Structures are given as C-alpha cells and as structure tokens.
Amino acid sequence: MGKSIDSKRNMKPIELFDNLRELFCINKSEIGDAFLFIAEKFKDKKRDSGEEVIFHPLRILQIIHDSGLNLSKEDLKIMFKVILLHDVLEDTDTTEEEMISNFGLKILNYIKILTLLRIPKEQLNMLSNEEEDKVLKERDKKYFEGIFKSNNILFKVIKICDRLDNINTFSGLLKRLPKKSLAKYISSTERDYLPEAKKLSNKLYKEFINSLNNAKKLLKLVDNN
C-alpha cells in the first residue's frame, strides 16, 4: 500500500504519481501519458504558494482516495486522467485539438465541463457594474449546474475535491486576492460546495469544515494586519 502525500512531502512528482497509481491500483500504461503531458505543460509553473503546479492534481487524487468514495475501476481510470489534465485548457496554451489528438473527445468533454469560462476583461470593461455582475452570475450558474446537476458523479467528485485542495492551501490565495475576494471565496465554498460534499462523504464534509475554519482564521489575520 502506498503512503499519503502528507507523509511523503519530499517526494518528486513522478514518485507521488507512482504512489497514487498503486493506491488506486491503476497501471502506468493506462494513465502515464497524461502525467507526462502535464509535466511538460506545467514545467516551471508555480502556484501562488510557490509550489509547483503539478502537485495540485496529485493532492486532489490523494483527497479522493482518503475520502473512501466507492468508484468503479473504469471511473477511477477516467477520473485519474481527467484530474491530471483538468487545468490544462485554462492555465496553459493547450488547444482542444491537441487534447483530442492525445486523449480523445471524451476526456476533452470532461475537462470542458470542469473548466470555468473566462470572459475577456475587455468585454467586461464595456459593461456597467450591474451588467457585469449579471453576466458573471449567469456564467457561474451555468457552470455549477453542468457539474452538480449532472448524473455523472465524477464531475461532482473532482470539482469538490479540487475546491477542497484550494481551501487547504488557502495561504497561497492570500498572496494574490484582495480581502473582499477571499471572503467571497470562503462564502461561496460554504454555500455551493459544502452541502454537495456532505452528500458524497461524511469524511469529506468534516475535512471541508476544518479547512474552512482554518481559512477563516487566516483571513482574520489579514484583518488584524
């Protein structure tokens, strides 16, 4: 049995990847191409915390494993690959054609559903504050409905655990976002993600509660400085 990421913080990404494959009992030949792809796409890229971007999807996989969710072997293989690739359209120069060529249309469609549409700043700048709020709310509503109203549990599992890892690494967000945005981020997590996490796993729900409490404490430190 492999060890958790928390107990192997000094491991390299490829070592963590192999460790997680063992935890999920998945052969390297089935998902190794996705790891090599993101290793190249995210090369030298850092998160706000200063860590390599590639650790984020690996931690999501660890969260899912530790949650004890009961997923089929086929779902696990799809989930593993989609989690590794879930940020490439949003955060790299990867094209949809490139995704289809390397991983097929099915994987691309998963990732598109999990990717929040970015509206160009130039377009938003042409709108009044009221119009901008309306456009963003409609976009967010469509995005969340596509995930949480889907009959496919993988969308919910991946998105919830993605948000949980972001909350777990909240200190990184403190370096980038203004206090008002941070408070809104916590509020939306409590409103939109916490109830869905409770439906999936009591263990996930409790971890969300603990992580949100820690994030609120960090936000108070910002208030006091």
- Sign, CA dihedral 147-195-47-9, equals negative
DSSP code, position 13: H
The DSSP bridge partners found for residue 46 are 52
Which CATH superfamily is 5-224 part of? Hypothetical protein af1432 (1.10.3210.10)
Tens digits of pLDDT across the chain (225 residues): 344 455 456 789 999 999 999 999 999 999 999 999 999 999 988 887 778 999 999 999 999 999 988 899 999 999 999 999 999 999 999 999 999 999 999 999 999 999 988 888 888 888 898 998 899 889 999 999 999 999 999 999 999 999 999 999 988 888 777 888 899 899 999 999 999 999 999 999 999 999 999 999 998 887 655
Q: Provide the b/e sequence for 199-218 (b: ≥16 CB within 10 Å).
A: ebbeebbebbeebbeebeee
Please state the domain extents for the chain: 5-224
Give me the pLDDT at residue 225, please. Answer: 56
Q: Which two tokens stand for residue 94?
A: 């990867």
With beta carbons less than 8 A apart as the criterion, state whether 34 and 81 touch.
Answer: yes
Q: Which of 223, 179, 189, 182 is nearest to 209 (CA)?
A: 189
pTM: 0.90
The answer to whether 53 and 46 are in contact (CB under 8 A) is yes
Q: How far apart are CA 145 and CA 140, in angstroms?
A: 8
Give the model confidence (pLDDT) of 67-90 as tens digits. 988 899 999 999 999 999 999 999
